[in-house]
Amino acid sequence: MMGRCSISSSSNTNEVNLFKSLTGIQQLVETRQFKAWFLDQFGVLHDGKQPYPGAISTLEKLATSGAKMVIISNSSRRASTTMEKLKSLGFDPSLFVGAITSGELTYQHLQRREDDWFEKLGSCCIHMTWNDRGAVSLEGLGLRVVEYVEEAEFVLAHGTEALGLSSGAAVPMKLEDLEKILEQCAAKRIPMVVANPDFVTVEARALRVMPGTLAATYEKLGGEVKWMGKPDKIIYKSAMAMVDEEASDCIAVGDSLHHDIKGANAAQICSAFITGGIHATELGLGKFGEVADQSSAHALSKKYDAYPSYILPSFTWLSFCLALVCAVEDQCAIEDQGFTGNPNLNEEEDSNGLGQIGSSPSPVVQPMVWFSLYHGPEPLAGPVLSSRGSS
C-alpha cells in the first residue's frame, strides 16, 4: 500500500522531490487514503469540446467508491455554469458535491466586500471580457463599467477577447490592444482583479490564452494583481469546507503544474498531475495516454517549483490500453440517459450557462474517432500568441 503523501518542496535546495508514477486512478482509489477529490476539468475531464476517453466511467467508478468529488476550476464563469458545462458533455452533475470556480470566488468577494482589500476597491472598473465566448455578466455587483482609464478605480479581467462598454455590450479587441490599455492602467496605479488566473487552457487540440496572461503582464508593468483561484490556497480551503474534510484526506487532480499542483502544495494536500494536458508538448507527448518520461517530468516540476505526489498519463481508471473500452461504456451511458445536450457549450462562451446551439449532432464522438484524434502524428499545439477573438 502506498504511504501518505510527502508535500515538501523547495527550489532553494538540492533535494529531489519524488513522485509515484501510476497508470490509472484505480491504483489511488484502492489505497483508501482519500475521502475527497478536487478535480480540475479542462485538460483532465474534457478538452472544452469533448470528454476524454474513459473520463465519464472513471468518475462513476470513483463515485461508487464513496469519494466526495468537487470541481475546482479557474473559470471566469460562476459555479452553476460549470455544472451546465459538464452536463452538456455527458457527465452526471449529481456525482459531485459541488463546484468552486475562480469566477464564483470573484463574484462573491466583489459582492460582499468582506475584507479590507475589496472594501477599498471602488465600483468603477475597466472590464476585460470575452467576445466569441460570450461576455461575462456583472449583474448584481453594483459595478459601473467605464471606457476611459481616467475614470477607472480598478481593472476586472474576465476574458482576453474584448473590452466591456458602459452600455453592457463589449467591443472585440486583440490581446496586444488590451495590453496597451493595461499600460495606461499601470501608470495610474490602479489594482487588477483577475477572475481566471490560468495562462492558457486546453481547447480541442490547441492551447488558448486566458486572463492570467493579462495579469502576468500587468504585474510586469508594476501593477497590483489580486489572483482569484488556483494556485492561491483559498480555492482549496473552500473545497475542504464544502466536503468537511481535513487536508490529509484530500487529493487534487489537475494538468497544470503552476496552478493545480502548486496550489495543492500551498494548501498542503496531495496531488495527481495529469501529464497529457497543457504540458503535453513540454513533455514531448504526442498521443493521448502516452506515458511521460520520468526525468522530463521531474525537470518540469523543478522548473515550475511545483511537486505532485503522483503522475498519471490521463484521468482513466486503468491504463489507456483499456480507455477505449471505457469510452464505449461512456457512450452507452450517455445514450441510456437520453442525453440531448449541447456538446459545444464552452464554459467561457455563455454568461448564463445555456450556451449556443452547436452544429454537431452527437454529444460524444465515437470511440474509434477518439482513437484517431488522440493518436494522430501531430502533438498538441503550443500556445497561441493572440486571443481567440483576434484570430
Q: What is the residue-wise DSSP string for 222-241?
A: T--EEE-STTSTHHHHHHHH
The pLDDT of residue 201 is 81
Across the range 209-233, mean pLDDT stands at 96
Q: What pTM does this model have?
A: 0.76
Quick one: DSSP state of residue 42?
B
Q: How far is CA 295 from CA 19, 30, 302, in A?
A: 11, 27, 11
pLDDT of residue 234: 87
The secondary structure of residue 135, as a DSSP letter, is P
Tell me the three cell numbers of residue 320: 489507456
**Bigger pLDDT: 118 vs 372:** 118
Tell me the C-alpha distance between 247 and 260, whole Å: 15
Backbone phi and psi for residue 308, each to the nearest 5 degrees, phi listed first:
-75, 155
**Longest Cα pair distance anywhere in the chain, in angstroms?**
61
Does the pLDDT at position 138 exceed 80?
yes
pLDDT score for 200: 86
Give the pLDDT confidence of 48-82 residue by residue, as tens digits.
889 999 999 999 999 999 999 999 999 999 999 99
Q: Given this model, what pLDDT does residue 229 score?
A: 93
Please tell me the predicted confidence (pLDDT) of residue 89: 96
Tell whether the model's pLDDT for residue 285 goes beyond 50: yes
Q: What domains, with CATH codes, occur in the chain?
A: 21-103+234-390 (3.40.50.1000), 115-227 (3.40.50.1000)
Assess contact for 297 and 267: CB atoms under 8 A.
no
- Reply yes or no on whether the pLDDT at 326 is more than 90: no
**What's the pLDDT score for residue 14?**
39
Q: What is the mean pLDDT of the chain?
A: 82
Angle at 46 (CA atoms; ends 295, 377), nearest 5 degrees: 60
